[in-house]
Amino acid sequence: GWDYPMSAMAAARMGMPERAIEALLMNRRTNTYLSNGHNFQNNHLRIYLPGNGGLLTAIAMMCTGWDGSENNLPGFPHNGQWNVKWEGLQRMP
């Protein structure tokens, strides 16, 4: 659902990139993406587009930052384990 990306964006803005990653990778049924890319919720709701949009928005914000953030990639841990590449994304307000 959209709550995991929302938690990730909040954690990133609070300077907790490890928590942002944990939120996006949380092992929950409603945080599952099918092989066709759809965010699965339950058998009656097999596609949940707010979850997809939330994930894309969270990743973009974690890459580019937001107004007032110090540098790029503020949503990813700076521990040498992440090699993130992106292009053409706009900084979030």
Question: Structural domain of residue 25, as residue ranges?
Answer: 3-64
Residue-wise pLDDT tens digits, 11-53: 999 999 999 999 999 999 889 888 888 888 888 877 788 889 9
Compute CA distances 29 → 4, 7, 13, 34, 43, whole Å. Answer: 12, 16, 26, 11, 11
**70, part of any domain:** no
**93, part of any domain:** no
Q: How confident is the model at residue 56 (pLDDT cuts 50, 70, 90)?
A: very high
Residue 1 to residue 23: CA distance in whole angstroms: 11
**59, part of any domain:** yes
Q: What is the pTM of this model?
A: 0.90
* pLDDT at residue 57, rounded to an integer: 97
> Can you tell me the mean pLDDT for 55-67?
97
**79, part of any domain:** no
Give the H or E element holding residue 32.
strand 32-33
The total of structural domains in the chain comes to 1
